[in-house]
Amino acid sequence: MANLKELVERGNKLFNAHDVDGLLDLYAPHAELHASGGMVAKGRSEIKRFTQSWIQGFPDVKLRTERLLVSGSTVIEEGIFTGTHTGAFPTPAGDIPPTGRRVEGPYIDIFDFDGETIVRDRLIFDRLDLMEQLGLAPVPAGATTR
């Protein structure tokens, strides 16, 4: 059995290379991805659509792992997302036209494995912070900018 930490690291390398099909090979056909804001992607085709939306909206998107924790068949990743919003970003509320703004934000991703395949992926990120960085939500008075 492969080291689960190495599988998550491989997944990030595939994402950073925009190899969505390679990334999907890590997921079980019936896998589910749950993301902040009540987003749910069931099965590889929906997970592919979700993943491609980030690459479409942020063509230079990169993930950087800060910390990985493994407990049994679960891996918890703490990371940083960076990218420049130069493409239309599909969201459940509709496409967000490119703003040209660079964003950087933390995320937590929790992967549940069955053997060497991901069966559940729970992505947690600050949606409001993302909208503030894109200039689509007001930044609170006194807040520092990145």
Q: Look at the alpha carbons of 68, 72, 61, 125 in this order and tell me if their dihedral is positive or negative.
A: negative
The predicted-structure confidence for 125-144, as pLDDT tens digits, reads as follows: 999 999 999 999 998 877 76
Would you state the pLDDT for residue 146? 59
Banded model confidence at residue 60, pLDDT cuts 50, 70, 90: very high
Domains of the chain: 4-133 (3.10.450.50)
Banded model confidence at residue 92, pLDDT cuts 50, 70, 90: confident
Is residue 55 exposed (0-12), middle (13-18) or buried (19+ Cβ within 10 Å)?
middle
Amino acid at position 125, single letter? F
Would you state the pLDDT for residue 145? 59
Average of per-residue pLDDT across 98-108: 98
Would you state the pLDDT for residue 35? 97
Average of per-residue pLDDT across 65-88: 97
64 C-beta neighbours (distance < 10 Å), count: 11
Rounded to whole angstroms, the Cα distance separating 130 from 146 reads 12
pLDDT at 9 over 70: yes
Average of per-residue pLDDT across 55-80: 98
